Every structure is written in C-alpha cells, then in structure tokens.
A and B are shown apart, each in its own frame.
Chain A
Amino acid sequence: MLPNPNSKYPIPYILHLADSTLILSQRNSEWCGHGPILEQDIAITNISLDLIGQSRNFYRYAASLIGNDATEDSLAYLRTEREFKNLLITELPNGDWGQTILRQFFFSTYQFYLFQQMQNSNDGQLAAIAAKALKEVTYHVRWSSEWVVRLGDGTDESHQRMLHAIDELKSYTGEFFVPADYEKEIGLDINLIRQQWEEKIKAVFEEATLPYPEKTFTQTGGKTGIHTEHLGFILAEMQHLQRTYPGAAW
C-alpha cells in the first residue's frame, strides 16, 4: 500500500491507535482461564481477540507508511516503552472484574464515537479499519454497559466494588480527549466525541445507580510515551521471546 499523500493522519497517530488496542488486548487476555464464569471468560477474551485484530490492522498500515522493512511484528515487539503511545488507562492492571468491566466500558465507548467519525475519514485505509472495527465495538459497548448496570445496581458488595473502580480509573479517562501534538491536525471533532462519551457514560451510570465523577484530575502522558510503571512489565512479558530469539516464528 502506498502512502496517501492527502492523508491527514500522521504515523505517530496510527501507532497510538495500534498501541492502545494491543495493550488493552494483552491486559484482557490475562483473564483467560480466570473469568468469573465460563461465558464471561470467553466474552472478555473474545474482546481481546477483536482488539488484537484492530491493532494488527493499524500496525500493518503504519508499517506500510514507515517502509524500511517495518512489519506489524517489529512495531509490536521491538519498540521500547518510551516509543509506545498507548492511552494510560489501557496499561493499568486489571484489578477485579468490576474494574476490568468499567475500563472496557470507558474505552469501548470512546472507540465507538471515535470510529464513527473516522469511518468517514479522507484516509481510505483508516476509514476501512474504523468501519470494520465499529461493528465489533458496538458489541463491546453493549456487553460492558450491561455489566456496569448489573454490578452497579447489584449487591452491596458489587456496588462498593464499582465505586472503587470509578476511583481507580476516573483520572485516566480525560486523556482520551487531550490531543497530543500529532493529533491536532487529524480533522476529527474531539469535543464532539467527548460530549457523546459523557452523555453515554452518564446515562449508563444513572441506570447503574453510580455517581458520575464530575471534576477530576486528568493524568496524561501515554500518548507521548510517558507511562506508568506498569507498561514496562507488560512489554517485558510480551516482547521477551522476540528479543531473546530475534525473528523467531511458529
């Protein structure tokens, strides 16, 4: 694929999309074999699979623009922590099931409104990836929002756990809407995405009898490679094989 000369999407932005989906996929896959019940173990790992599919599409596209023998694998396995541009919320530890669910709901809702705009982008490849992913993300939003309601409006304990999850995650959602330098020219209406995102979260929280955190501190850094201490451990686990045996293949 040749680079699109009219593309407004810089390579760092595509890598940011790829990294966020890869890291959250890796995190969710930690639930494999540990889900609360079999059906939900399967659900969260299915979402992992969808996310890794998205990240492969983004990495392949980025690799085609970078050239110089870059591949989806070299971009995923051979970049360092400071080169990763994923959102901080994706690298946080899973916590309990409630925290995993809430993060998925926050992230999928963000993806949903982002991809809705991106599917009409003038960058044909990115528009195609977004249109394809949007179909899957619709399911992720539905599934995770139903769980937020079930746990929020469930037992005393599940409600308490959701309150705890909100406390753990609330300072990381603002990063969705704080554009990095490479994000300023992409022609998406980030303010609209924020507005739609907040409306959806508020509606589901109300049904779930959970308080929407109005004014919170916003932690940023992930988009420019400044990460929490958690990312290094994820990369160590994810990359050690390729780094120990470069070029190893199945």
Chain B
Amino acid sequence: MVASTNISIQTVWQILATVTDPEVPVLTIMDLGIVRDIKIMEDAGIEVIITPTYTGCPAMDMISMNIKLAMVEHGYTHVKITSILSPAWTTDWMSEEGKRKLKEYGIAPPKGNAGTIAEDGIECPQCHSFHTKLLSEFGSTACKALYQCQDCKEPFDYFKCH
C-alpha cells in the first residue's frame, strides 16, 4: 500500500481521469468538468473538490463513491470529497474530447455556450442529418433533451447546454 503522503496532485488527476459517469459511461468526470480542484490536506489526506452537474442529479452520490473506490484501488484510503455549488457547473467546461466521445456514443453533444437553448440544427448522431426536431425538453436524465431525426427517424438524446 502506498502512503498518502507520497502522492502528487498530478497522480490524483490521472487516477480521476479513469472515473466515468455512471449514466454516460463514455465520459470521464474529467471530460465533464465535474472535478474542480484537488488538495493535499494537512494530515496528508486528499481532498477532491467536485461540483454537481444538475442540482438533483442522482449520479453525484455514485460519482463520489466511484472516486473513493478508484483512489482506494491505487492505495489511497484517506480521501475526502467536498461538493461545492459555486461557480455553477456549465457544459462550457466539457472537453472537446468529451463532446467527440458523446457523439460517438449516440448522444448529441451540447451545441453553443451555456444559456443558449438550441432547438434547431442539432445533428443526428446516427446519420448526421441536421433535419431533426425537439420531442421533449426533458429526456432520460436531467442533463438531456429528447430529439428525433426527421431523416433516419431515429430518436436520440441531446446533452443540453447548461
């Protein structure tokens, strides 16, 4: 077992880059921009500072647990997770790599910056047509809206700008 005292913050970032979102397993919590900071505490424990995507997102508890598990796997047992609300999470923090992975997975990535409510011109992740329509602003999870492609007729999730 590795003692927490020997850890570098860089190593923690690397470990956290292996933790995925339970609802969208192709995205890591780093792709999503959920991890805001990492600190080595005075007693040599590690503090991971995260922020929730949506206020009521039920995945946050699981994400906290998965962070702890990933750290334990690498021998770090003294880990504290702190959740902060400000500044509020935004899809602007999602990495380009994350957006690419989302699209490959079949979820249309957020289009535009936080605050834009894009209705038109969302690209179908299946056939890449832009001829799509909004079916519902609320999809299978809090972060998604439901769209349908007018060409291939396939319904798909759109990760909303937030």
Complex CA gap A49/B142 in Å reads 8
Contact A42 B86 (CB under 8 A): no
> Do the beta carbons of B138 and A135 come within 8 Å of each other?
no
Does chain A have a CB within 8 A of B121? no
Is the Cβ of B137 less than 8 Å from the Cβ of A143? yes
Q: Is the CB of B55 within 8 A of A139?
A: no
What are the interface flags for B122-141 relative to A under an 8 Å C-beta threshold, 1 for contact and 0 otherwise?
00000000000001111110
Q: Which of B55, B135, B137, B139 contacts A133 (CB 8 A)?
A: B55
CB under 8 Å from chain A, chain B span 30-60: 52, 54-58
Interface residue ranges of A40-54 to B (CB < 8 Å):
40, 42-43, 46-47, 49-54
* B41 CB, min distance to chain A CBs, angstroms: 17
User: Does A132 reach chain B (CB closer than 8 Å)?
Assistant: yes
CB neighbors of A among B67-115 (8 A): 84-89, 114
CB contact between A53 and one of B56, B89, B146 (< 8 Å): that residue: B56
Task: Give the residues in chain B near A139, CB-CB below 8 Å.
Answer: 117, 137-138, 160
User: Interface 1/0s, chain A 41-77, versus B by CB < 8 A?
Assistant: 0110011011111101100000000000000000000
Bound: A196/B98 CA distance, A: 39
A42–B56 touching, CB < 8 Å: no
- If A142-B117, A143-B137 touch, whether A54 touches B55 (CB-CB below 8 Å) is yes
Set of chain B residues within 8 Å of A180, measured between Cβ atoms: none
Contact flags B143-162 to A (C-beta < 8 A → 1, else 0) = 00010000000000000101
Determine the distance from Cα of A216 to Cα of B105 in the docked complex, in whole angstroms: 53
| Count of CB-CB pairs between chains A and B under 8 Å | 72
Residue in chain A with minimal CB distance to B56: A53
* A13-46 contact mask (Cβ, 8 Å, vs B): 1 or 0: 0000000000000000000000000011011001
Least CB distance from A18 to B in Å reads: 12
Interface assignment of A166: CB less than 8 Å from any CB of chain B = no
Partner-binding segment picked from A84-92, A102-110, A122-130, A182-190: A122-130
Give bound CA distance, A47 to B88, whole Å: 18
Is A131 positioned at the interface, with any CB of B under 8 Å from its CB? yes
Task: Give chain B residues whose Cβ lies under 8 Å from the Cβ of A46.
Answer: 138-139, 142
Query: By the criterion CB–CB under 8 Å, are B85 and A50 in contact?
Result: no
From A40, A50, A142, contact of B56 by CB (8 A): A50
Picked from B117, B136, B162, the residue with its CB within 8 Å of the CB of A42 is B136
Interface: A136 (CB within 8 A): yes
| Cα A249 to Cα B133 with chains together (Å) | 43
From residue B8, how far is it (CB to closest CB) to chain A in Å?
29
Counting from the closest, the 5 A-B pairs by CB-CB distance are A53-B56, A53-B55, A128-B86, A39-B136, A43-B138
Q: Using a CB–CB distance below 8 Å, which chain A residues touch chain B?
A: 39-40, 42-43, 46-47, 49-54, 56-57, 124-125, 127-129, 131-133, 135-136, 139, 142-143
> Can you list 30 residue pairs at the A/B interface with Cβ under 8 Å?
A39-B138, A42-B138, A43-B137, A46-B139, A46-B142, A49-B58, A50-B56, A50-B142, A52-B56, A53-B52, A53-B57, A54-B55, A54-B56, A56-B55, A124-B86, A131-B85, A131-B86, A131-B88, A132-B52, A132-B85, A132-B86, A132-B89, A133-B55, A135-B114, A135-B162, A136-B54, A139-B117, A139-B137, A139-B160, A142-B117
